């Protein structure tokens, strides 16, 4: 028979009674969220493959401006995953943000577009979850507008703050509150909705906010972080782009990280410059 275990918080404990046996919810979550040394050694390689697929998708190898649609890119990503021996645990997405002065609409990718993708693969039962951004150069441009580059840098700063606040022993709600406060104090317009990652895409463990819960996640958000767990650092920051008439853009990023006793680190290099499509 299961013995009485220490409770992180008795008011949050979920107990399943079945045939007289007591099942501790927190013990089950800990078993599911903890990654083995072998898994942690493999995970960065899987994340690197996911990033390589995105880099190829957001290039002229796949995208021809004024011809290629967002659906074309999505299905290319699915096909490329299969060719490399991976599966996708969710259907990828590719979306467009455009200047309000753009004459274009619809899903055909045009010059001057800011692209976003959400993409995840599975290998050896380990899931990745990544969001990145690309810019389609206009004729005569050599780089993205400075305002879009600055917007990405602000979203990177939000990542920095989030990673610094993610520590063993803190709860998801504590990390959310402290990270949002720091970001807002720096003048950012943040939203954080990170989640555990592992054998499930949205895995067992503590969430840090949700899209519609920026004041904390009752119950699940009060679960503490443990070492040897992997988390998808998912967030966005909104910023005005002078070149687009101070139009607000949303830079959404998602980057997988491992949490150790000394703190959190990304599994693979994060995006700090926009992919450029010529």
Tell me the average confidence (pLDDT) per consecutive run of 10 residues in the chain, 278 residues long: 40 42 67 95 98 98 98 98 97 98 96 98 98 98 98 98 98 98 98 98 96 96 96 98 98 98 97 98
Q: pLDDT value at position 190?
A: 98
CATH number at residue 167: 3.90.230.10
Q: For residue 28, tell me if it sits in a domain.
A: no
Please name the residues in contact with 87: beta carbons below 8 A apart, sequence gap of 6 or more.
81, 121, 122
Q: In Å, how far are 95, 254, 273 from 62, measured between CA atoms?
A: 15, 22, 19
Nearest to 38 by CA among 228, 195, 166, 200: 228
Q: For residue 99, tell me if it sits in a domain.
A: yes
**β partners of residue 275:** 134
Helices assigned H by DSSP within the chain: 25-33, 37-57, 70-83, 146-165, 172-185
Q: For residue 7, tell me if it sits in a domain.
A: no
Q: For residue 123, tell me if it sits in a domain.
A: yes
Q: For residue 257, tell me if it sits in a domain.
A: yes
Q: pLDDT value at position 29?
A: 87
Q: In Å, how far are 10, 81, 223 from 7, measured between CA atoms?
A: 6, 42, 11
> What is the number of structural domains in the chain?
1
Q: For residue 8, tell me if it sits in a domain.
A: no
Can you tell me whether residue 120 is helix, strand or coil? coil
Q: Are 259 and 43 in contact (CB under 8 A)?
A: no
Phi-psi region of 167 (alpha: psi -120 to 50; beta: other; left: phi over 0): beta
CA–CA gap between residue 227 and residue 35 (Å, rounded): 9
Q: At what angle do helices 146-165 and 172-185 cross, to 10 degrees?
A: 140
Q: pLDDT value at position 22?
A: 42
CA–CA gap between residue 178 and residue 122 (Å, rounded): 32
Show the domain range for 217.
36-277
| pTM of the shown model | 0.90
Q: For residue 4, tell me if it sits in a domain.
A: no
Q: pLDDT value at position 24?
A: 64
Q: pLDDT value at position 26?
A: 74
Q: For residue 26, tell me if it sits in a domain.
A: no
Specify the residue for token string 């895409």: 201
Please count the CA atoms within 13 angstroms of the CA of 96 that sit on its side-chain side.
Answer: 22
């Amino acid at each position: 028979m299961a013995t009485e275990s220490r409770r992180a918080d008795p008011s949050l404990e979920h107990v399943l009674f079945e045939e007289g046996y007591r099942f501790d919810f927190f013990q089950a979550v800990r078993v599911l969220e903890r990654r083995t040394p072998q898994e942690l050694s493999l995970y960065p390689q899987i994340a690197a493959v996911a990033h390589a697929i995105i880099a190829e998708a957001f290039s002229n190898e796949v995208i021809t401006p004024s011809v290629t649609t967002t659906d074309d890119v999505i299905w290319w990503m699915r096909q490329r995953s299969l060719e490399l021996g991976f599966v996708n645990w969710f259907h990828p997405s590719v979306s467009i943000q455009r200047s309000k002065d753009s004459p274009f609409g619809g899903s055909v990718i045009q010059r001057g577009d800011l692209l976003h993708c959400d993409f995840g693969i599975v290998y050896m039962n380990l899931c990745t979850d990544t969001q990145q951004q690309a810019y389609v150069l206009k004729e005569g441009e050599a780089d993205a507008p400075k305002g879009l580059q600055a917007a990405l840098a602000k979203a990177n700063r939000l990542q920095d703050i989030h990673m610094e606040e993610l520590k063993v022993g803190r709860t998801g709600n504590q990390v959310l509150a402290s990270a949002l406060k720091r970001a807002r104090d720096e003048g950012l317009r943040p939203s954080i909705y990170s989640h555990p990652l592992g054998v499930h895409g949205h895995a067992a463990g503590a969430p840090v906010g949700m899209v519609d819960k920026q004041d904390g996640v009752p119950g699940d958000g009060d679960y503490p972080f443990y070492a040897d767990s992997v988390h998808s650092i998912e967030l966005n920051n909104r910023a005005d782009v002078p070149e687009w008439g101070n139009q607000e853009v949303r830079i959404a990023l998602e980057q997988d990280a491992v949490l150790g006793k000394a703190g959190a680190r990304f599994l693979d290099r994060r995006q700090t410059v926009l992919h450029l499509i010529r």
